[in-house]
Chain A
Amino acid sequence: DTAVSQTPKYLVTQMGNDKSIKCEQNLGHDTMYWYKQDSKKFLKIMFSYNNKELIINETVPNRFSPKSPDKAHLNLHINSLELGDSAVYFCASSRQGSNQPQHFGDGTRLSIL
């Protein structure tokens, strides 16, 4: 069973388009996250979310928005895609608490033409 799954694995689209990436976890975790990994493999948090609170990294453009239909899902919507948005996006989940390890999906590689 896949613990954290993301779709699609690859996403190729043109500048200016709007796209979504879906994430689902079957671990029963309370908190979900979105990370961006750049070309230098550096992982940077974008959002963390549980059913009570959304924490947004202040450097994330407001073109990016997380949407959670329920506790097991956290989707990422991106409006007006730009060339600089090309990266690998990872979803993760964890139990509530700062000392809980996060478990990651296998990423979505977004390429903007």
Chain B
Amino acid sequence: EDQVTQSPEALRLQEGESSSLNCSYTVSGLRGLFWYRQDPGKGPEFLFTLYSAGEEKEKERLKATLTKKESFLHITAPKPEDSATYLCAVPSSGSARQLTFGSGTQLTVLP
């Protein structure tokens, strides 16, 4: 059965304090890994797709990396506006069109 586990569940950082979020996965035949950001009362907003181990993607203060077992979302010098829940997801091995999501990391950046 496909599994996606994110850690930590919640993370509080001071503004400017860099850190990383983890997403570990178990899926047969990885066909990509997606990172999303979700703000309260909103739908998940697509951030990155990673397709193969060793791949990296960057967007502003965010950098996503991928290994064969996990992905990291590195946040460099975060600002309060980076506060959100960050979700990762993988296409299910059973159905190519369905995503299996992790439960998310709720990030709070304090000014």
Given A31-B97, A55-B95, residue A101 in contact with residue B42 (CB < 8 A): no
Q: State in angstroms the CA–CA spacing of A103 and B43 once bound together.
A: 9
Q: Find B31's partner among A43, A57, A98, A106 (CB 8 Å cutoff).
A: A98
| Contacting residues, chain B, for A94 (C-beta < 8 A) | 97
Further pairs besides A99-B49, A107-B41, A107-B43: 7, Cβ < 8 Å: A43-B101, A45-B100, A48-B95, A48-B98, A55-B97, A99-B32, A104-B44
**Total number of A-B contacts with CB less than 8 angstroms?**
63
| Contacting residues, chain B, for A43 (C-beta < 8 A) | 44, 87, 89, 101
A42 adjacent to B101 (CB under 8 Å):
yes
A102 adjacent to B46 (CB under 8 Å):
yes
A sample of 30 cross-chain residue pairs with beta-carbon separation below 8 angstroms, ordered by A number, consists of A4-B43, A33-B98, A40-B103, A41-B103, A42-B103, A43-B87, A43-B89, A45-B100, A48-B95, A50-B97, A57-B98, A92-B43, A94-B97, A96-B97, A97-B96, A98-B96, A99-B49, A99-B51, A99-B91, A101-B34, A101-B49, A102-B34, A102-B46, A102-B99, A104-B44, A104-B45, A106-B41, A106-B42, A107-B41, A107-B43
